[in-house]
Amino acid sequence: MNKFVLSLIGFMLVMSSLHAQVMTYTGSDEYIMSEFETIDIAKQRAEQKAIRNAQEQAGVYVQSNTEVVNMMITKDEIQTMTAGILKVTDVHYQLTPLADGLSLIVKATVTADIDSDELANYLNRPAGERADLVAQNLELQKAIAAQDAQIAELKRQLADKPQDTTNIADKFAAEDKIFLSNQQLTEAGKLYYQGNLNGAANHCTQAIELSSNNATAYSIRGAIYYKLNNFNSALADFNKAIELNYSDYKNFYNRGLAYVKLNDYRRAAQDFSQAIQLNPNDADSWHNRALCRQRLGDIYGAQEDLRKARTLS
């Protein structure tokens, strides 16, 4: 029970080339800045998109330089690797005003490197550790995608020319804070990848200071505290994550793991039950509830859960 959310991916990866090399990629993308946004935020948004473009290119290199044994490498694994080892070395911006005089096209072009030595180092990590990294990256990318969708919706509302422009301006300002909060989580993810858990936790704290309702920040910081064996702090963060996002089964699953470490098997079993209710196909939740039921003396229930976990594994 040293992993969070994702099941262990049973594959082996071997480098196809033994010679270290550094590959350089140029990624470009643009962001249309509205009248209610600042140039600084618009530049950061454009840069984020350009980095994604570079990561997609690097992902082709990552896949072509790994030989997969018995299992296809997953898209999530490739994305996690490229996000962790891609290093941005230069950024350029181009600003182009639009005809309305209020909007601005901000184009970002990034230059980034990827070192095959670092790729090899990642592939040599224990499978459980890689699964943790994938889980963290997936959670962050989901939060970023949700924020992108909110900005798109605000721009749609703005295009309808609402009377209440003050309300729209306030909404953009709130979304900017969420964006900056997620930027801190991106930095946290990089440090987490490097094994700097305390530094990652500090960035999560900064993310929470920017947006106190960022459920992902609490969830990720809770996972970090768990790995640091600070189970009470992990529990507090998972409590807050559940308060803010009750429908995400991972928060209940992770809190269940924290309760196990605190020897509270009754509450742990309840959390795994809630995780199962939200996601009945998660084998880990069934397996861990079985262990809790066994500790609580419910041998029949434990056996039933183990049987279910095997059918899903």
Domain assignment of residue 64, yes or no: no
pLDDT of residue 113: 93
Place of tokens 């029949």: 300
Does residue 192 lie within any of the structural domains? no
Q: What is the pLDDT of residue 168?
A: 86
Domain count within the chain = 1
Pair of tokens at residue 160: 């309808």
* Alpha carbon distance 58, 229 (integer Å): 35
Q: Is the dihedral of CA 168, 174, 179, 180 positive or negative?
A: positive
The model's pTM: 0.85
Domain annotation covers residue 263: yes
Q: Which domain holds residue 295?
A: 230-313
* pLDDT computed for residue 199 by the predictor: 97
- What is residue 228's predicted lDDT score, i.e. its pLDDT? 96
pLDDT value of position 221: 97
Q: Is 5 left (phi over 0), alpha (psi -120 to 50) or beta?
A: left
| pLDDT, block means (10 residues), the chain with 313 residues | 36 44 93 92 96 92 62 77 92 91 90 87 82 89 93 87 79 94 94 93 97 95 96 97 95 97 97 97 96 96 96 90
Domain assignment present for residue 306? The answer is: yes
Read off the tokens for 103: 């909007």
Residue 291 resides in a domain: yes
The confidence score (pLDDT) of residue 117 equals 84
CA distance 32 to 43: 10
| Domain membership flag for residue 163 | no
Domain CATH code at residue 241: 1.25.40.10
Question: What is the predicted pLDDT for the residue at 162?
Answer: 66
Question: Is residue 284 within 8 Å of 271, Cβ to Cβ?
Answer: no
pLDDT at 69: 38
Question: 61 lies in a domain?
Answer: no
Is 249 domain-assigned? yes
